[in-house]
A and B are shown apart, each in its own frame.
Chain A
Amino acid sequence: GESVGLHLPTLSVQEGDNSIINCAYSNSASDYFIWYKQESGKGPQFIIDIRSNMDKRQGQRVTVLLNKTVKHLSLQIAATQPGDSAVYFCAENIENAGNMLTFGGGTRLMVKP
């Protein structure tokens, strides 16, 4: 079946550098995307979302880019900090599928001091 997947399972970056986490999706009917951050032993935390009628959205230190042509989603974290170390999940929502979320496999971000 169609699913959301991630290119890299682990990303290691130096503190202060920018991080880019990628996600590929295959369902062209997906209309809404969310990035979640999950720290060890905790539930996922909402970071940022984007609708399919947009290609970029910025938050505080985070930017989500959506390329519908190649069905690709990315999360950019500026000036990565040790507190950003976590597993990041992308999730896609399909309105005509009951607004269910489908999660990718997750990418672990490790920030080196």
Chain B
Amino acid sequence: GAVVSQHPSWVICKSGTSVKIECRSLDFQATTMFWYRQFPKQSLMLMATSNEGSKATYEQGVEKDKFLINHASLTLSTLTVTSAHPEDSSFYICSARGPVRETQYFGPGTRLLVL
């Protein structure tokens, strides 16, 4: 149980395009989902907290207009990187708070490369 999926797992795009990443909780309902960014050999950096049916809460320094988050249902949250640039290239990971309220279960990650 507590499986989280992400799609796509790998995306390459041209600078200036927008990329949407989906995060789904497959076997449980997640009222809260989280989006992280991870650079090589570094820890996870929380970008935003997404609550179903309400606006996401962004961490300091994260541009809300750049990283659009939508949490339309209890099993789906999306992150859209708008007008992506090479510096947005990174590993994006989502997590969902599972049946045990404090535990977060992570998706497999999405690697974004902006050319």
Interface residues of A (CB under 8 A from B): 32, 34, 36, 41-46, 49, 89, 93, 95, 98-101, 103-106
Contact = CB atoms under 8 A, between A and B. Distances in A.
A42 B108 contact: yes
A29 B107 CA distance: 28
Given A41-B111, A43-B93, A100 B46 contact: yes
13 contacts: A34-B104, A41-B109, A41-B111, A42-B108, A44-B106, A45-B106, A49-B100, A49-B102, A49-B103, A99-B97, A101-B104, A105-B43, A106-B43
Contacts, number: 51
Contacts of B105: 46
A105 B6 CA distance: 24
A44 B102 CA distance: 15
Nearest to B32: A99
Contacts of A46: 2, 103, 105-106
Contacts of B4: 43
A101 B46 CA distance: 9
Interface string B81-105: 0000000000101010100111111
Given A34-B103, A89-B44, A42 B109 contact: yes
B43 A89 contact: yes
Nearest to A34: B103
Contacts of B93: 43-44
Nearest to A49: B103
A34 B4 CA distance: 17
Nearest to A98: B49
A44 B103 contact: no
A93 B43 contact: no
